[in-house]
Chain A
Amino acid sequence: MTSPKQALAHPASSADAAPGDQPGAAGRAQGRGTPPPGKDSWRSRLYRWDMKASPYAFVAPFFIVFGAFSLVPLLYTAWYSLHNVQLSNLDGQTWTGLDNYQNLLSSDFFWNALWNTFTIGVISTVPQLLMAIGLAHLLNYKLRGSTVWRVVMLTPYATSVAAATLVFVLLYSWDGGMINWLLEFVGIDPVNWRESDWGSQFAVSSIVIWRWTGYNALIYLAAMQAIPADLYESAAIDGANRWQQFLHVTIPQLRPTILFTVVVSTIGATQLFGEPLLFGGVSGSKGGSEHQYQTLGLYMYDQGWIIGNLGKASAIAWSMFLILLIVAVIQLLVSRRLRKSQ
């Protein structure tokens, strides 16, 4: 509504600067006649103000949402982690200092959850990213129906954590489950995927691997396609075979992308929650009868909403964040070291 008026502020320039760009605007402007004297400076001031303020106005919605629903809650979570906050008695919050944290450090369940988060994180991330690089390499060939292949590899990504886990629970069931049945075919004894330590952790990890391998493969594929062809050409002239080219051209060129996927997967693995929760069925928040696959995310949900200790849940959330920050710093240092050695 204001824009045709503002177009009047520069009636002369509009004609020669962008002819035909917005013919309607210029025509309408002339039809309205010239602006009354005195208002012109007000308009140009408005125009300048618009130029200055609009960038902030454009980024404001994101920062308002982030501030209100992430940053402020993050600080409040820190505050609650220093209080005794019970789900059953929300008004009776009392200051307890670092009690919640001390409580965690002396709790076997916390260390167990931390260790599980780490092992499940490794079992799910390392094979996933390795397979994704291999898959990307294959997808990078000239293929018949290349789009179809890519979409098929991405379909697990369309499946929600909940839906995928419900299916895998059935596939992994002790008797009558597809996976044990197939193992029996090959002559392997059935595995108790629900109860055994490594079996259950592997099963939970396999859901993560299934959902994310194709996604990461596409990310690697995009990076592979950006590698300049002459690098391969000169490697070939030097007598490098395809495997050597992959090792000495593709992998080094992918290094930033690999770092990116490692970081993203680490963040995902640290907050792993839905897969172990639903894998556990009715008492899912315990992460198995012996807490074999109770991750930090699960432990937090269990303490906060099943047991009802929201103060402790807040302390777990902050511990998780601190661990993530430490891991991020380590990854940064490692990547810097790698870059230097290059």
Chain B
Amino acid sequence: MTATELTTPQSSPPAKTRRERPRVMGAGKQLHAGPLTYVVLTVFALVSLAPLVWTAIAASRTDRRLAETPPPLWFGGNLFKNMERAWEEGGLGTAMFNTIFVAGMITISTVLFATLAGFAFAKLRFRFSGLLLMLTIGTMMIPPQLAVVPLYLWMADLGWSNQLQTVILPTLCTAFGTFFMRQYLLQALPTELIEAARVDGASSLRVVWHVVFPAARPAMAVLGLLTFVFAWNDFLWPIIALNQENPTVQVALNSLGTGYVPDQAVIMAGALLGTLPLLIAFLLFGKQIVGGIMQGAVKG
């Protein structure tokens, strides 16, 4: 950073100015990073990754070792033993299967409904559409705390305590997803394409199936990833609605945190297990997830 600052010419010979100018104009975008940039980025990267790496180190040790000073800095030999205990005693096994089911259902329905609603908001003209869109965005401001007391009481009335549908149903479609798909379809779906299908006499469902879905596919994939991450990590309502008998991953981790298995190494193994699927997803689809977050942001 400082290196490039120094070369920014103010009164340099004309021959040099011509060579330097393209570097100045794009500030940032066209500029190559100096060594200092890499140093600072490396620090940020280390801080981002260190707690995760250390989780794995702690998960491979024993409870006793974790209470000693200095803390362990390298892996021990108990990783699989601790993971097994977290899986069985900590309920992470049941929790993982439950969460895959819950997050999977939420993802499928959110992507589907959000695409439909996003398409309507982006491309169809109907009365109150502006108002309804404002309302959709406004709902993102409501904290989940405003809903949990009545939901809990209804759930108790229905005899649904500890059943997975209680955490699936409230999240079948999200405002974020709807807005995300609207923003994407606004620019990715040419209106002429819809009109052509209309002239063809295609019904709305047919337009959705043959025109909207193909155009929306990349954004649907990204929204699916983001929704899955969100559903996997959802915390407040699941810990109220479920308990250790039929937990999701976050419920099981909450139990571990409140002393369900009083062994720090097992707790760390649980944290690692509960995060691993998302870390793998980031490894495989990191580029798409990053793209999705940046895409959803521009309009903010």
Complex-state Cα separation, A174 to B217, whole angstroms: 50
Contact of A158 with B235 in the complex, beta carbons under 8 Å: no
Choose the segment among A102-110, A194-202, A240-248 that binds chain B (4+ C-beta atoms closer than 8 Å). A240-248
Q: What's the Cα separation between A25 and B10 when bound, in Å?
A: 66
Contact residue among B52, B70, B173, B232 (Cβ-Cβ distance under 8 Å from A181)? B70
Interface check A170, CB cutoff 8 A: yes
A78-93 near B? 1/0 per residue, CB < 8 Å? 0010000100001000
* Interface residue range, chain A: 35 or more
On chain A, the residues within 8 Å of B67 by CB distance are 175-176
Enumerate chain B residues within 8 angstroms of A98, measured Cβ to Cβ.
none
Q: Considering only CB atoms, which chain B residue lies closest to A54 in the complex?
A: B204
B107 contacts the other chain (Cβ, under 8 Å)? no
B282: chain A residues within 8 A (beta carbon)? 151, 154-155, 158
Chain A residues, Cβ within 8 Å of B229: 157-158
**B191 an interface residue at 8 Å Cβ cutoff?**
no
Q: Does B188 contact A (CB under 8 A)?
A: no
Chain B contact residues: over half helix, strand or loop, or mixed?
helix
Query: Which of B172, B204, B240, B294 is close to A221, meaning CB atoms less than 8 Å apart?
Result: B294
B258, A282: Cβ atoms closer than 8 Å: yes
Residues in A with CB closer than 8 Å to B116 are: 58-59, 61
In the complex, which residues of chain B have a beta carbon less than 8 angstroms from the beta carbon of A141? 28, 31-33, 37
State whether B170 touches A69 (Cβ < 8 A): yes
Complex contact A320–B145 (CB within 8 A): yes
Asked whether, in the complex, the Cβ of A321 is within 8 Å of the Cβ of B146, the reply is yes
* B146, A77: Cβ atoms closer than 8 Å: yes
- The answer to whether A17 and B143 have CB atoms under 8 Å apart is no
**B236 close to A (CB within 8 Å):** yes
Encoded as 1 (CB less than 8 Å from any A CB) or 0, chain B from 281 to 299 comes to 1100011011001110110
Contacting residues of chain A (32-69) with chain B, CB-CB under 8 angstroms: 47, 50-52, 54-59, 61-63, 65-66, 69
CB pair B33 A138 closer than 8 Å: yes
Q: Is A58 a contact partner of B120 (Cβ separation < 8 A)?
A: yes
Contact with B along A127-144 (1 / 0, CB 8 A): 000000001011111111
Contact with A along B124-161 (1 / 0, CB 8 A): 11100100100010011111111111111100100000
In-complex Cβ contact of B259 among A7, A226, A241, A281 (8 A): A281
Which residues of A are found within 8 Å of B199, using beta-carbon distances? 10, 13-14, 17-18
Question: B143 and A270: CB pair below 8 A?
Answer: yes
- A153 partner, pick from B48, B143, B210, beta carbons under 8 A: B48
B4, B8, B173, B289: which contacts A61 (Cβ < 8 A)?
Answer: B173
Given the interface pairs A141-B28, A176-B69, A320-B145, the reply to whether A160 lies near B275 with Cβ below 8 Å is yes
| Residues of chain B within 8 A of A122, CB atoms compared | none
Q: A59-B121, A138-B41, A176-B68 are in contact. Are A147 and B51 (CB under 8 A)?
A: no
The answer, among B121, B204, B232, B236, for a CB contact under 8 Å with A51, is B204
CB distance from B211 to the nearest CB of A (A): 9
- B140 / chain A contacts, CB cutoff of 8 Å: 267
Contacts of B221 in A (CB 8 A): none
Q: Identify which of A65, A157, A222, A250 contacts B172 (C-beta below 8 A).
A: A65
State the main secondary structure of chain A at its contact with B: helix
Instruction: Determine if A160 and B24 form an interchain contact, defined as CB atoms under 8 angstroms apart.
Output: no
Q: Is the CB of A167 within 8 A of B54?
A: yes
Q: What is the distance, in angstroms, from B278's C-beta to the closest C-beta of chain A?
A: 4
Chain B residues in 8 Å Cβ range of A118:
none
Q: Taking A3-B203, A313-B149 as contacts, is the C-beta distance between A282 and B259 under 8 angstroms?
A: yes
- Indicate whether B40 reaches chain A with its CB closer than 8 angstroms: yes
Kindly state the separation between the CA atoms of A178 and B61 in the bound complex, as whole angstroms. Answer: 15
Contact with A along B193-221 (1 / 0, CB 8 A): 00011011111111010100000000000
Would A271 and B145 count as touching, CB distance under 8 A?
yes
In the complex the two chains form, what is the Cα distance from A128 to B203 in whole Å? 49
Min C-beta distance of A41 to chain B, whole Å: 15
Q: Please tell me if A324 contacts chain B, counting CB pairs below 8 Å.
A: yes
Give the contacting residue for B300; candidates A9, A52, A260; CB below 8 A: A260
Identify the interface centre among A140, A144, A169: most chain B CB within 10 Å of its CB.
A140
CB–CB A178/B287 < 8 A: no
B271 and A90 contacting across the interface, CB-CB below 8 Å:
no
Q: Given A61-B116, A70-B146, A155-B48, is A142 in contact with B257 using a C-beta cutoff of 8 Å?
A: no
Can you add 9 more A-B contacts, CB < 8 Å, to A225-B29, A242-B27?
A90-B156, A141-B31, A147-B290, A167-B51, A175-B67, A242-B5, A249-B27, A274-B236, A317-B146
21 contacts across the A-B interface (CB closer than 8 A): A18-B199, A22-B202, A61-B116, A65-B170, A70-B170, A138-B33, A140-B28, A143-B33, A147-B290, A159-B52, A162-B233, A162-B257, A165-B257, A171-B54, A214-B48, A218-B297, A222-B294, A232-B24, A242-B1, A313-B149, A328-B141
